[in-house]
Amino acid sequence: MTVTAKEARAFYNIGQAEGLTMWSPNVNIFRDPRWGRGQETPGEDPAVASRCGAAFVPGLQGSSSSTKSVPRGAADLGVLQAHHGVRPGGLEGRVADLADTFNPPFRSCVVDGKASCVMCAYTVVNGVPSCANADLLTKTFRGSWGLDGYVAADRDAVAIMRNSQFYRPTAEDTVAATLKAAVRHGRDPEGEADAAGRRQGRQEPLHHPHAAGHFDGDPKTNVYGNLGAAHICTQEHKNLALEAALDGIVLLKNSAGVLPLKRGAVNSAAVIGHNANDVLALIGNYWGPPCAPTTPLQGIQGYVKNVKFLAGCNKAACNVAATPQATALASSSDAVILFMGLSQEQESEGKDTTTLLLPGNQQSLITAVANAAKRPVILVLLTGGPVDITFAQANPKIGAILWAGYPGQAGGLAIAKLPNTWYPEEFTRIPMTDMRMRSAGGYPGRTYRFYNVKTIYKFGYGLSYSKFSHRVVTGRKNPAHNTSLLAAPGLAATVEDNLSYHVDYIGDEVCDQLKFLAVVKVQNHGPMDGKHTALMFLRWLNATDGRPTRQLIGFQSQHIKAGEKANLRFEVSPCEHFSWVREDGRKVIDNGSHFFKVGKHELEISFGAWDLFFFSENKNIYIGTV
């Protein structure tokens, strides 16, 4: 049982919560940097979002088959969200984009996480509202993915279908459309659909409260009945909040080793910025009351004796800036740390940004302070989405840049890798309502997998205080591998070059047997100990016809002492990681060369008519049959 589930049960037991259903995680893809709710998601990569969902759901629901700790649902299934505060009337989702980008995280929540419920969103995709989409709710979620639970409509989604989207002529017809879309046999003849709806209507509303223990008599006798106020805001939980903040902060720039600051070497520090002493700036949107929050200012005061603070801006919009006072303070201090960025006034549900630049006078204030300071300054950005900080990248007087997201209650004590691409301001010329992921005819594409134009920072970017190197050093085939697996008649796809395999034709059993282990040696060359995250990507030889430029296979983190090495193990599934989705939605694996990429190191992998050999450093990998 996770910390979140434990505290949710505790709040419920002491009467401070009316129910136990939690509408999270939000695993929509952060496909546009202007989206106000991107801060709620794991980022732009479907593999990361899928892994998050697969861990998050059972973490809340618990492992008990009889009593769930917290029944929960994946928020806002389907394709996308609100744009500039408006719930869109219609969006076009291409089959390939649905298959390889938007749907995988929700599939993972249901198939791997065993989610007990899902929520359909406000959107109309390809002419059908999400809450009336039988292909999505019945054929996909219940049929293909095996959802054993219920579907809930997002707040007023059904009312919007009738009053704004005019999907059906009457309220009764609209409700009927949503019910038929969600029942198990929504495409059966009318009588069977009605019968299925009655069965589901009787069973599911009772099944989940029963699983949560509502009908087990005295709540104190429940397996979680002993949880109460003593289990909220414990030291263990506060330590975990700090760990989460530390793991989420990304070092974007560190010229001449400005960071880390040495304890005792700084006699005076100037802390400047509207986000430096504001608890709300730490916690983002959809938050509960934080437990013993520490602001960045309070955190720095715990390390430096002489700290002076100035907000600099009246708020994140920074329409009023105290530039003269800020420059005077900076010029008289040994170290200057600026806490700038956005707030929920710029980005939240119903509020998308219209620019990627820092708002108001923030840029001019930062530049003026940097020019006045004795030494290069440190800039800490608190934002949910990416911002264009080209000016700070290029300014030698800004020695270090950190992105902290909205780090939570322990954010002030904390100061990883970027979960999103950081785009230049020119990206805002692209309409948010253009759902295409792949680049085409002057359209640059979206996210690191398909975007083909210069970025401010790439997905997965992040510096370290120490120097690390990577090398794929060894791998082994699955012991159960059958050398004739891919030689069976009919597996070769009928594509133009006749050099690809359809994943569906290979089948789940063979795909499982094709999995193998890849080991990456990571060495910390010093000068500091540190926790390092290694990201393994697959790169295609030719990123054409809808293939990604690269695709994340997995990521592993480990604390490594200076001068030492560690082996990180990645399970590689050719059917999942080597495949790409054609325009018709079919997943295929190309014959021929692919490339593992970890850091600066690449290793060629060939998928084709060869046996799957053991491989070692400086040797190629061959996957296939004799």
Catalytic residue numbers, as ranges? 154
**β-pair type (615-616, 468-477):** antiparallel
Helices 235-248 and 3-13: crossing angle in degrees, nearest 10, is 140
- Name the phi and psi angles at 320, rounded to 5: -130, 125
Q: In what order do the strands lie in the sheet with 398-403?
A: 250-254, 398-403, 377-382, 335-341, 268-272, 306-310
CA distance 198 to 529: 61
3-class DSSP state of 204: helix
How many angstroms separate the CA atoms of 121 and 356, rounded? 26
**Radius of gyration (Cα) for the chain, nearest Å?**
26
Measured CA to CA, the distance from residue 505 to residue 486 in angstroms comes to 10
Contact by Cβ (8 Å): 396, 255:
yes
Under a CB-based contact definition with an 8 Å cutoff, are residues 175 and 161 in contact?
no
Crossing angle of helices 362-372 and 323-331, in 10° steps, is 30
Longest dimension (CA), the chain: 80
Interior CA angle at 254 toward 248 and 257, to 5°? 120
**Do 294 and 245 meet the contact criterion of CB atoms below 8 Å apart?**
no
